């Protein structure tokens, strides 16, 4: 069955008026965790698209006080890309792909009978690829997260906290200058500083805890047992056959619970 744009699009629009200042646009992008928004008039007509990349250009251009004063007066209408490229919700996904490639853009406005109803972006296509993965639940490698959030051992604590917040991660792997894992810093490690405040000179190596590892071929039961016995919520995944290699991923209690909740899991039968 041919998939249509409506099957993959992100419904609804996050908009701003053309007179919105760049600081307001930045706040909206951060609040909604999106990379772009639609600049629309009072009647909801799409006038342009403003992305985080456009704001980066504004930040780069404001390199001195005079330039900053000028840039702060700019509005969404000044930096937006126009006209807005659109695609109908009822056309095949291949048409959206063709437009993205042909015009070298990252997103398209989705319309139904000419009225804006959502957006389809590169992120939606990436997410669709991830959803095509066949569910497996036998070993650690089947459910681990391949992407690892890392920081250097001399990273200030507040920088690590910001990275965790931005990435929506509950932990960061701490490495040395050669990339060797030294430990993990998690939300629990940071809790004491909520009350007492953070010394800006304090670095993660001073508060991290030792990293527990598990082989990528170990069973999920073995991973769960290790977490329970050591009161840890996450384990660093390694290849025991190549102990000097960089870690392969991370498995957390959430990864195991998410697998239990997945349709088709033995827990959902």
Map out the domains of the chain with their CATH numbers.
Answer: 5-129 (3.10.580.10), 140-261 (3.10.580.10)
Structure confidence at residue 195 (pLDDT): 57
For residues 8-20, give the mean pLDDT: 92
Encode pLDDT of 22-55 as tens digits.
888 888 988 888 888 999 999 888 999 998 888 7
Structure confidence at residue 14 (pLDDT): 92
In angstroms, the CA 251 to CA 139 distance is: 11
Encode pLDDT of 181-216 as tens digits.
888 888 778 777 765 666 777 898 998 888 889 999
Structure confidence at residue 54 (pLDDT): 81
> What residues does 155 pair with on adjacent strands?
none
Of 105-109, 167-171, 174-178, least confident by mean pLDDT is 167-171
Closest CA to 14 of 107, 125, 113, 96: 107
Task: Give the orientation angle of helix 65-72 with respect to helix 52-61, to 10 degrees.
Answer: 140
Res 257 pLDDT > 80: no
Res 87 pLDDT > 70: yes
In angstroms, the CA 231 to CA 243 distance is: 24
Structure confidence at residue 118 (pLDDT): 92
Under 8 Å CB-to-CB from 117, ≥6 apart: which residues? 9, 11, 12, 13, 89, 110, 111
Encode pLDDT of 48-86 as tens digits.
999 888 877 666 566 677 777 877 788 999 989 889 999
For residues 225-249, give the mean pLDDT: 86
Q: Which of the two residues, 147 and 24, has the higher pLDDT score?
A: 24
Mean pLDDT, the chain, as a whole number? 83
For residues 94-121, give the mean pLDDT: 89
Structure confidence at residue 154 (pLDDT): 93
Task: Give the orientation angle of helix 22-32 with respect to helix 52-61, to 10 degrees.
Answer: 140
Cα 63 to the center of its chain, rounded Å: 28
Q: What is the reported pTM?
A: 0.55
Res 267 pLDDT > 70: no
Neighbour count for residue 9 (Cβ, 10 Å): 21
User: Is the distance from CB of 123 to CB of 34 less than 8 angstroms?
Assistant: no
Dihedral angle over CA of 15, 21, 26, 32, nearest 10: -30
Structure confidence at residue 196 (pLDDT): 62
């Amino acid at each position: 069955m041919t998939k249509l744009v409506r099957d993959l699009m992100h419904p609804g629009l996050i908009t701003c008026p053309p007179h919105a200042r760049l600081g307001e646009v930045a706040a909206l992008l951060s609040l909604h965790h999106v990379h772009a928004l639609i600049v629309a008039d009072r009647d909801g007509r799409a006038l342009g698209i403003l992305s985080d990349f456009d704001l980066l250009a504004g930040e780069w251009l404001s390199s001195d006080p005079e330039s900053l004063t000028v840039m702060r007066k700019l509005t969404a209408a000044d930096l937006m890309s126009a006209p807005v490229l659109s695609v109908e919700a009822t056309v095949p996904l291949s048409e959206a792909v063709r437009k993205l490639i042909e015009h070298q853009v990252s997103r398209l406005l989705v319309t139904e009978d000419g009225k804006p109803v959502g957006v389809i972006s590169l992120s939606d296509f990436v997410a669709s690829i991830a959803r095509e993965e066949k569910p497996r639940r036998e070993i650690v490698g089947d459910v681990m997260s391949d992407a690892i959030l890392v920081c250097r051992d001399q990273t200030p604590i507040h920088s690590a906290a910001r990275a965790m917040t931005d990435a929506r991660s509950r932990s960061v792997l701490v490495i040395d200058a050669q990339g060797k894992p030294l430990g993990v810093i998690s939300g629990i490690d940071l809790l004491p500083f909520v009350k007492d405040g953070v010394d800006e000179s304090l670095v993660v190596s001073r508060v991290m805890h030792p990293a527990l590892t598990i082989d990528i071929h170990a069973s999920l039961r073995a991973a769960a047992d290790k977490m329970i016995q050591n009161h840890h919520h996450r384990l660093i995944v390694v290849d025991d056959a190549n102990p000097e290699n960089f870690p392969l991923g991370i498995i957390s209690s959430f990864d195991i619970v998410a697998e239990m909740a997945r349709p088709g899991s033995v827990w959902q039968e």
